[in-house]
Every structure is written in structure tokens, then in C-alpha cells.
Amino acid sequence: AQSVTQLDSHVSVSEGTPVLLRCNYSSSYSPSLFWYVQHPNKGLQLLLKYTSAATLVKGINGFEAEFKKSETSFHLTKPSAHMSDAAEYFCVVNTGFQKLVFGTGTRLLVSP
Amino acid sequence: GAVVSQHPSWVICKSGTSVKIECRSLDFQATTMFWYRQFPKQSLMLMATSNEGSKATYEQGVEKDKFLINHASLTLSTLTVTSAHPEDSSFYICSARESSLETQYFGPGTRLLVL
């Protein structure tokens, strides 16, 4: 079965420093992977998606993620954090039956 | 980008009453819509998948008689929580998918509080 594991429940960074949110996946075939962001009391916004094209995926707001099959990872990065990046981030895998399985989420805290 | 709306955004109701939540795709036709539930500080759990014109497929453990889903058109799906109880209080989020695309677009969510 397809699943994702988000290794950190909370990540704290200072504004202007790099962001790294970790995600490992488990899949019996080449998966489709997504990162979504959720701001407080809001719905989810798609940041980026990997669907077996380029392994380095660029998303919105300066985020990017790299698909590494050898490490079964799909970590989300951003070179410089902004205060507005503070939110909950979900790594998500498509099960192949059009169902999405969500990770447990990582809360990103950005301090001035 | 594709926009999905939900109505209402907030609802407070008494125990035993029924509540209907609407999910609309505003600028695309959604052949499939999904309903999720999110408890505080937790991840999203898929409740059911609905395809336009057919019965919804519920995930294991979700009572289909309690959570009635209707997907009568390509732009509208509704979730009705029947005889709501305090334990049904949660954040309900819908998503919609175009037939030819893989990406799901999420609505802003509906917060339900049952007193």
C-alpha cells in the first residue's frame, strides 16, 4: 500500500533561513507525490506535484522538492523562509486509485 | 487555477439535527469529488469518493447512512450529516478533480460544531 511519512511534526526556522520539510514515501510503483499547504482554518493549496517527469519539481512561492527514488524521499525545500510561510504542510501520495493518502503534517514555524 | 468553494464555512447546530454542506467547482467540471474530515491538529482522512451520477464509495468505518453524499451535477456535491452528534464536530473539506487530470483541488473547508 502507498503511504507517506513526514519525519518532523514541527520545524522552526528564522525568517530568511532555508526550509527543509522531510517526507519519505512507500510505494510498490512509481508514485505521484504532492505537497499541500494549509494555513490556519483554511483549505489546502497545492504547492507542487511530481508525476514521473523531472525529478526536481518547482512549485509556487519559491518552494521546490526533489524526488529521490534511491532514498524514497520527496523533501520540500525553500532557500529563504518568509513569515507568511508559517503553516501546516502535508506530503501526499496518490494511491493509484485516485485516492490521496496524507502524511501526518509538519507545522512550520517562522520567527522574525 | 481551479477554484472549489464550500458553503457554509461555519455551522453550529443542535444535536439531532441534520446539516448539509455544499461543494462546488467554480470553473471546471468535476467528474469526481472527495470528502475529507480533519480533526484538530490531525491530518485529513478520506471519508468518501463520489462520481457524478452514481453512488458514493465510502471508506471503511464511515457510516453511509449518517453521511449522505449526493453528486447530482458536474459542479456540485453535497454532504449531509444526519442526526448530528457532538462527536461529528470537525472540519470537513471537499476536493474536486477534472476527469482528465490527476490533481485534486480543495475547498476552503466547513467547520461544524454540534452542541
**pLDDT at site B55:** 87
- Inform me whether the pLDDT recorded for B1 exceeds 70: no
Which of A60-69, A80-89, A96-105 is predicted with the least confidence, judged by mean pLDDT?
A96-105
B contacts of A32 (beta carbons < 8 Å): 102
Helix (H) or strand (E) holding B30: strand B30-38
CB atoms within 10 A of CB B103: 17
B contacts of A45 (beta carbons < 8 Å): 106
Yes or no: say if B66 and B19 are a contact pair by the CB < 8 Å rule.
no
Q: Give tens-digit pLDDT for A15-24.
A: 999 999 999 9
Q: Closest Cα partner for A109 from A4, A17, A6, A5?
A: A17
Q: Give tens-digit pLDDT for A4-58.
A: 999 999 999 999 999 999 999 998 777 889 999 998 877 789 999 998 778 899 9
In single-letter form, the type of residue at position B37 comes to R
What is the arithmetic mean of pLDDT over A69-79? 95
Rounded Cα distance, A25 and A94, in Å: 11
- A98 — phi, psi (to 5°)? 65, 15
Using a CB–CB cut-off of 8 Å, the residues of B that contact A are 1, 4, 6, 32, 34, 42-46, 49, 93, 95, 97, 102-109, 111
